[in-house]
Amino acid sequence: MHEDSNAVRKAFAAGAVGYVTKREVASCLVEAVRSVLAGKRYVSPRAGAGLVGGDLVKVEAGAAEEFSDQQQRLYELLGEGLSAEEIAIALRVSPRTVESYAARMIEKLNVSGMKELRRRAIADRLRQRRTPERLG
pLDDT at residue 89, rounded to an integer:
94
Provide the angle, in degrees to the nearest 10, between the axes of the packed helices 69-79 and 114-130: 80
Give the span between the Cα atoms of 6 and 113, in whole angstroms: 8
Which range of 23-32, 57-66, 96-105, 118-127 scores highest in mean pLDDT? It is: 96-105
Over residues 49-91, the pLDDT tens digits come to 666 554 433 333 455 557 888 889 999 999 999 999 999 999 9
Give the span between the Cα atoms of 35 and 18, in whole angstroms: 8
Over residues 29-50, the pLDDT tens digits come to 888 899 889 888 888 877 776 6
The CATH code belonging to domain 5-53 is: 3.40.50.2300
Q: Where are the domains of the chain?
A: 5-53, 61-130
pTM: 0.51
Least confident piece of the model among 12-21, 113-122, 124-133: 124-133
Give the span between the Cα atoms of 45 and 48, in whole angstroms: 5
CB-CB contact of 6 with 112 (8 Å): yes
The overall average pLDDT reported for the chain is: 79
Does residue 110 surpass a pLDDT of 90?
A: no
Identify the sign of the CA torsion 41, 1, 54, 98.
negative
Cβ neighbours, 10 Å, residue 24: 18
Q: Read off the amino acid at residue 105.
A: M
Calculate the CA 116 to chain-centre distance.
10
Q: Higher model confidence: residue 1 or residue 108?
A: 108
CATH class, range 61-130? mainly alpha
Residue 50 phi, psi dihedral angles, 5° rounding:
-65, -35
